[in-house]
Amino acid sequence: MAKLREVKKRIKAVGNIQRITKTMQMIATAKFQASVRRTQATQPFTRKVAEIAGELAGAGGQIEHPLLTGPTKPTGRILVLVLTSNRGLAGAYNANTLRTASAFLRTVAGKQIDLEVVGKKGTAYFRFSGRPIQKSYTQFTDKPAYEEVEKIAASYITAFEAGRYDAVYVAYTQFVSNAKQTPRVQQLLPMEPPKTASIRKQAGYQPVYEFSPDPQTLLGALLPLTIKSQLFQAFNDAVVSEQISRMVAMKAATDNSQKLVRGLRRQFNRARQAQITTELTEIIGGAAALQ
């Protein structure tokens, strides 16, 4: 009887967990659908702005801009921003991002590194590993606001133009498709020319522009917008990747709990049958003893 009660309690406990994981899966699915619409809406703008900035810099002759060339006197200091989540239960999302960021940090170990982290999971990881963190951002939700990301990007641009950093990088999980999310480290500053502009240049394609105002003035307004939009796109990609990972993890947990419940029910039925057989044997044995 004690074993039956124990198995019954386990069935009830696993059933409660199954309801929780199924609910979390449904919530993650709803958040994913909303966040993927946002990131797909911003992708064309981010890509086109970077493309125009690259073509403008190439078509305008030898244009020098601090956001393109970097500081004149290298300082040996870089800044790395790592994007993680505030909550767990997202599969390998945080682990993959932090593994990629840690591998990059090892490759630049000879430089002075200012590390900034978004999300409680990344903050806890780097503090546990003993790596100092300059800033930790935990205010971002599942819908990052452009105004808040813009402030961070503007501070990076100001520090880079002042010659404080040689480069600024962001480590995050890029959303490629619903089936593919790739952890990567992107160089924000100095801005790298987009691949499309490089391919066109190699192919001998030179677009003809009439600049008004001059290219230097245009780049002065366009390059900061490009950096801000790229960082905002990284935040959006990170949110989508997090929700996909959580959705897949909760789906797997729900499926596993269903299998576990089926196994426990079989165990309960076998134990119940054994108990009934034992009781019948005792009754038959007692009746035979009375005869």
96 and 149 both lie in a single domain: yes
Averaged pLDDT score across all residues of the chain? 85
Q: What is d(CA 31, CA 25) in angstroms, rounded to the nearest whole number?
A: 10
Q: What is the largest CA-CA distance in the chain?
A: 115
50 and 98 both lie in a single domain: yes
101 and 205 both lie in a single domain: yes
Cβ-contact 15, 259 below 8 angstroms: no
124 and 168 both lie in a single domain: yes
CATH number at residue 77: 3.40.1380.10
9 and 58 both lie in a single domain: no
Q: What is d(CA 169, CA 190) in angstroms, rounded to the nearest whole number?
A: 9
17 and 142 both lie in a single domain: no
pLDDT for 246-282, tens place per residue?
Answer: 999 999 989 898 888 888 888 888 888 887 888 778 7
Neighbours of 81 (CB within 10 A): 27
162 and 273 both lie in a single domain: no
pLDDT level of residue 134 (50, 70, 90 thresholds): very high
Which residues have CB under 8 Å from 85's CB, separation 6+? 93, 94, 119, 120, 121, 238, 242
221 and 285 both lie in a single domain: no
pLDDT for 54-96, tens place per residue?
Answer: 777 665 555 667 788 777 788 889 999 999 999 988 889 999 9
Is residue 140 predicted with pLDDT exceeding 80? yes
pLDDT for 9-27, tens place per residue?
Answer: 888 888 898 899 999 889 9
278 and 203 both lie in a single domain: no
Q: What is the pTM of this model?
A: 0.83
Cβ-contact 43, 286 below 8 angstroms: no
102 and 224 both lie in a single domain: yes
Number of domains comprising the chain: 2
Q: What is d(CA 234, CA 141) in angstroms, rounded to the nearest whole number?
A: 14
Q: 8: domain range? A: 2-22+249-290
Report the candidate in 81, 80, 69 with the shortest Cα–Cα distance to residue 109: 80
Neighbours of 248 (CB within 10 A): 16
Is residue 187 predicted with pLDDT exceeding 50? yes
Token pair for 243: 């929700």
CATH number at residue 279: 1.10.287.80
Parallel, antiparallel or unpaired: strands 167-177 and 180-189: antiparallel
Q: What is d(CA 183, CA 237) in angstroms, rounded to the nearest whole number?
A: 10
198 and 93 both lie in a single domain: yes
Question: Of 229, 246, 263, which one is at a domain's C-terminal end?
Answer: 246
